[in-house]
Structure 1
Amino acid sequence: MNASKDLVVLSLERWDGVWRRNQHLISGLLAAEPELRVLFVEPADDPAHDLRSGRRPDLGSGLRRIDDRLWGLRPVKWLPRRLDRRADDRLAQAAARAAEQLEMQHPMLWVNDPASVQLAQRTGWPVLYDMTDDWLAADRPEAEQQRIADGEAWLLEHATTVVACSPELVRRKSPQRVDIALVRNGVDTARYLTPMPRPADAPAEPYALYVGTLHRDRIDVDLCMATANAIHGKGRLVLIGPEAWSASDAQRVRDAGAIVLGARPHDQVPAYLQHADVLVVPHVVDAFTESLDPIKLYEYQAVGRPVVSTPVAGFRDTPNAQIAGGAAFAAAVAAAIPAGTRFPQDANATNADWSTRVAQLVALLSP
C-alpha cells in the first residue's frame, strides 16, 4: 500500500448490507494490511432531487465509524449543479475535511466515479482509478456525460494506478492508458459453497432467480415481463437487488407475475441462489453491458445451478450457461423449471475468490 497506510474511497454506492466490489475489496485490504485506515465516501444525498421524485429526502450523515479502521461519510448536494456551480467543489471539501479530522496526511485516493475528480485535483493525493463500468457508454444527460468524459480523461492521464474489472474495459481504454491492470470481480467462495436453508420469503413453488441491481442500464424490463408470463403455472420469476428503476417499471414486472424482493443482505443471498431452479440474466445487450464483469457470473457459477442468460459479456463464454434472447430466453427459462439437473459446483470458484483479487491489489499498490 501507499506509504501513509491511509485510503480515501470515493464510491458509487453506499456501504450497506448489499456488498459490491468495493466492500469486498476494501474489507479484504483491511484484513491484509493491519495498519490500513479507510475513509469510505458514499454518493452524496440529493434532497432536491428526492423531493422532485416524490421521495422523502435523505440529509447525509457525518463522519461515522463503520468498523475498526473504517469510517464512512455521506455528504449532501443541497442544490442542483445548474444553481450551484460549486456543488462538486463543496463535496470535495467535505471529503477533505473528513480526512483531515481523521488526521490522514497524504492518503491514497480510490476513485470509482470519473465525474468526481475534484478532490484529486485539489489535493494532489496519489490516485487509484478503479474502472467498474464504461460510464461513457451509458445513457446519461449531455451535461453529465461531459463531466464523466472530462473526469475520465483527467484520471487516465494523472492517476498513479489504473485498474479495470473486465478485459473489454482494458481494451477500450488502452489507447489513452497503456498500463491498465485487470482486476476482475469475484466471489466469497466459502459462503457460496456452504449449504443454507431455503429462505422464508422465497416462493414455495419452483422459481427462476435474478440477483443484481434493478436498473434499466442492465435489466431488460420487457424480457422480465415475458419471462414471468412464460413460466406462469410452473413457477415464479424472483428478482433480488437494490431497486434503481422507476416505480412504473417495478409495477409492470410485478403485474406480469414476478416477485420483486428488493435488496437482501449479502450474507443471505447465497441461500436464494442455492434453492433456485434456474438462475437468469435478462440483461440488455449494448455497449454499456459489454463493459461489465458481472459479479453474479462468479456467484452463479459457485452454486452450480442451471443458468439462462442473454448473450452478454462473461456469460457468453460460460460452458454451463444457456444463451438465448427474446422469446427464446423466456422459453429456455420455462423449460428449466422445475430443475431436472444440478451442475457440479464450479471447481474453479476458488480461483475467483475475492482474496485473489485483494492479493492483486496489494501487489499493485505496494511501493
Structure 2
Amino acid sequence: MNRAPRRYLLSLWKPFWVHIDQCNAEGLIGWVAPSKALSPEETLSVSGAWAEPVHARLKPDGALRAAWQTRPLYRFHIPFPVSEPGSRGAWRMSLAGHVQTMPAPKCSGGCLASQIRFVGPGTQPCKSRRVLLVLSSIDWEFRRQRQQQLSQALSVSYDHVLYLGPASLDHADNNLPVVYSLAEAISGVAVPFERAFDMAQDRLTASSAHQIAEQVNTLLKGAVHTDVLCLFPAWQPVIGALAANRVIYDLLDDHGSFDHIRADIMVEEQALIAQADLVTSPHVGLLQRADLSGVRNALVPNGFDPAALSQAEASHPRARRAVYLGAIESWFDWPLLMQSAETLSDIEFEIIGRVESLPPGPLPANVILKGEMPHPEAMKRLCEASVALIPFKVTALTRMVDPVKIYEYMAAGLPVVSTPFLDEGWGRMEGVELQAKSDGFADAVLRFAGDADTALRQTLMQQAQTASWSARARDLIAALNGESG
C-alpha cells in the first residue's frame, strides 16, 4: 500500500497547527494552519492565566502556504507580551470551533511576559485593597522624574498603584485592559483606544473619556478605597467617570507657557482644580497663580531618591569636572555654558541628557555630550564630578520650576552653580551660587572645581536628607488627610 505524503498525515492529526515565531517584549507573533480556509471575521483565541481570552486577527500568507501546500496559513500578531507567570503551564488555543492546548512558550529579549496578565470585565484584581490610580504625562520607562518618583514613594501608603501614561492609551487591536508589573506594588495599565493619542496636543472627547474610565473601573472593582493622582490636565475628562474616593491634582508646571502644549489646556486645568480634593505643586509660584479659591492646597517640593545615590559618599576622589543632568530644551542657555567652558578650558563640562535644543555653533573641545543614559548610571556620574550646573535662561516659565536635579546634585555632594531663575533663597544656601553672566558663572565653577572642600560636600548631602521622595510622599498624604505639618 502506498503511504500518504507526510504533509497529508500531519493534516489529519489536528484541526489546526500553531507556530510561534516570536515571544518577547514586542509581543507574540506566529502563524496558524487550519485544515480549511477561514472566513475574514475569524480570530484566534488564546487563553491562559489571564481572566479573559485574547483575540488575534488573522492575515492570510500566500508565501507560507506554498511550503505547506495542503493547508492555508494565516499570520497573527498580539502586540504586547503575553505568557503564563514564569512561562509555565499551558495555553488554550481556539480557532473555528476547535480547541487545543500547547505549552506556554519561553520568552526572550527582555520579555515582560512573566509579569503580565489580562483583565476583563467583571474581574476584581484590586479586591479589598487601597489603590492609588496615577494619571501621568510621561510613561514609566521615560527618564526618572517627579511623576515616577512620587508614585513610587506613595506606594507605601497603598496596597497597590496603577500607573497610566500616554502609552497606556493603546490603539493596538485589543479589547481588554492590560495590567503588567513595573515595580513592587506598582502596575502599568494599557486600555483599548481608537487611535494614537498626543497628550500635549490632542483632547479627549466625552465618549473617549467615558470609554477609558469604564475600562479602568473594571480594574478597580472590589477596591475598598481609591485615590487618583492626576499629573496632567489632559486627563481631566476621565476623572468624573472614575470610581474614585479622592482626587489629587499635582500642578507640575505653568502648562500655558509651553509652546508644544495646546493653548486650551488651561480650561481643563481649571476644571480639574475644581474637581480636586487637594492641589499640590512643587513651586509656590504655581499655587499662587492658580485659581484655588475654596480648594485645599499644599506645597510639595521635588526631592531625590536616596537609594539611587547610596554610593555617593564613597566616590572619591572627585574629577575636575562640571556636570549637567537633564534635557537640553529651549530654555537651556547654550551661549552661557559655551563661554564658561572656553574660559575654563582645563575643566571638563559633561552634559547628560537628550538634546532637543542645538547649540548655536561648534562646541568647545571640553564640552562633552553624553546623551541620555539610565538613571543609575547618571547618578554614578554625578558622584564622580566636582560641581553641578543649571544654566537655564531666566524666563517666566523657568521661574516657576523647582528642578529635581538640584536635589540630586546636593545629595551627591555637589555644589551648584545656576542662573538666577531659582528663588533667591537658594542663593543664600551654602554651596549654591546664582550667577547671571558668563564671567561670574565661570568664576563660581572654578571655585567649586576639584575635591578640596569635603566639609562642604558633607553639608550639602546632610541638607538633602530632608528632601527625600519618601518625605515628600508623607507630606502629601498628611495634606490629603487634613493633618497639620
- Distance apart, 1:102 and its partner CA: 5.7
- Checking the alignment, whether the CA contact within 8 Å between 1:24 and 1:354 is kept in structure 2 is yes
Give the aligned residue type for 1:28. A
Aligned: 1:43 with 2:166: yes
Q: Which moved more, 1:296-305 or 1:5-14?
A: 296-305
Structure 1 equivalent of residue 267 of structure 2: 150
- Secondary structure of 1:123 counterpart: coil
1:74-89 pair list within 5 angstroms: 77-78=195-196
1:24 to 149, 166, 171: 149
- Checking the alignment, whether the CA contact within 8 Å between 1:89 and 1:118 is kept in structure 2 is no
Aligned: 1:230 with 2:353: no
- Distance apart, 1:348 and its partner CA: 2.5
Take 2:222 and 2:422, find their aligned partners in 1: how far apart are those partners?
39
Aligned: 1:136 with 2:256: yes
- Checking the alignment, whether the CA contact within 8 Å between 2:129 and 2:160 is kept in structure 1 is no
CA deviation map 1:4-62 (0-9, x unaligned): 612221112221273222222222222343xx222211124899xxxxxxxxxxxxx95
Structure 1 equivalent of residue 215 of structure 2: 97
Aligned: 1:114 with 2:114: no
Give the aligned residue type for 2:160. R
268 and 134 in structure 1: CA distance in 2 versus 1, 3 angstrom threshold? same
Take 1:362 and 1:85, find their aligned partners in 2: how far apart are those partners?
30
Aligned residues: 339
Give the aligned residue type for 2:444. A
CA deviation map 1:95-114 (0-9, x unaligned): 64245246466732211112
Greater relative contact order (Cα 8 A, min sep 6): structure 1 or 2? 1
- Distance apart, 1:303 and its partner CA: 2.5
- Secondary structure of 1:93 counterpart: helix
Take 2:307 and 2:164, find their aligned partners in 1: how far apart are those partners?
29
265 and 140 in structure 1: CA distance in 2 versus 1, 3 angstrom threshold? closer
Take 1:46 and 1:220, find their aligned partners in 2: how far apart are those partners?
35
- Distance apart, 1:150 and its partner CA: 0.4
- Checking the alignment, whether the CA contact within 8 Å between 1:8 and 1:99 is kept in structure 2 is no
Higher strand share: 2
2:445 to 309, 333, 358: 333
- Distance apart, 1:164 and its partner CA: 1.2
Structure 2 equivalent of residue 53 of structure 1: none
- Structure 1 runs of 4+ off > 6 angstroms? 196-199
1:204-353 pair list within 5 angstroms: 206-216=320-330, 218-232=331-345, 234-241=346-353, 243=354, 245-246=356-357, 249=358, 257-314=366-423, 315-328=426-439, 329-334=441-446, 336-342=448-454, 343-345=456-458, 346=460, 347-353=462-468
Take 2:371 and 2:132, find their aligned partners in 1: how far apart are those partners?
31
- Secondary structure of 2:166 counterpart: coil
- Distance apart, 1:86 and its partner CA: 5.4
- Checking the alignment, whether the CA contact within 8 Å between 1:9 and 1:109 is kept in structure 2 is yes
1:9 to 134, 138, 145: 134
- Distance apart, 1:90 and its partner CA: 3.3
Structure 2 equivalent of residue 56 of structure 1: none
- Distance apart, 1:181 and its partner CA: 0.9
301 and 88 in structure 1: CA distance in 2 versus 1, 3 angstrom threshold? farther
Q: Pick the structure with greater CA Rg.
A: 2
- Checking the alignment, whether the CA contact within 8 Å between 2:398 and 2:421 is kept in structure 1 is yes
CA deviation map 1:130-183 (0-9, x unaligned): 112121233346xx021x210111112121111111222222225545521111
- Secondary structure of 2:187 counterpart: strand
287 and 90 in structure 1: CA distance in 2 versus 1, 3 angstrom threshold? same
294 and 15 in structure 1: CA distance in 2 versus 1, 3 angstrom threshold? same
Q: Could you tell me the percent identity over the aligned residues?
A: 27
- Checking the alignment, whether the CA contact within 8 Å between 2:312 and 2:413 is kept in structure 1 is no
Take 2:362 and 2:392, find their aligned partners in 1: how far apart are those partners?
14
351 and 174 in structure 1: CA distance in 2 versus 1, 3 angstrom threshold? farther
112 and 85 in structure 1: CA distance in 2 versus 1, 3 angstrom threshold? closer
- Checking the alignment, whether the CA contact within 8 Å between 1:43 and 1:74 is kept in structure 2 is no
Q: Structure 1: where are the runs of 5+ without partners?
A: 48-60
Aligned: 1:357 with 2:466: no
- Secondary structure of 1:285 counterpart: coil
Higher helix share: 1
Take 1:95 and 1:13, find their aligned partners in 2: how far apart are those partners?
19
17 and 113 in structure 1: CA distance in 2 versus 1, 3 angstrom threshold? closer
- Checking the alignment, whether the CA contact within 8 Å between 1:278 and 1:339 is kept in structure 2 is no
TM-score when scaled to structure 1? Answer: 0.77
Take 1:124 and 1:223, find their aligned partners in 2: how far apart are those partners?
50
- Distance apart, 1:363 and its partner CA: 2.2
- Checking the alignment, whether the CA contact within 8 Å between 1:41 and 1:95 is kept in structure 2 is no
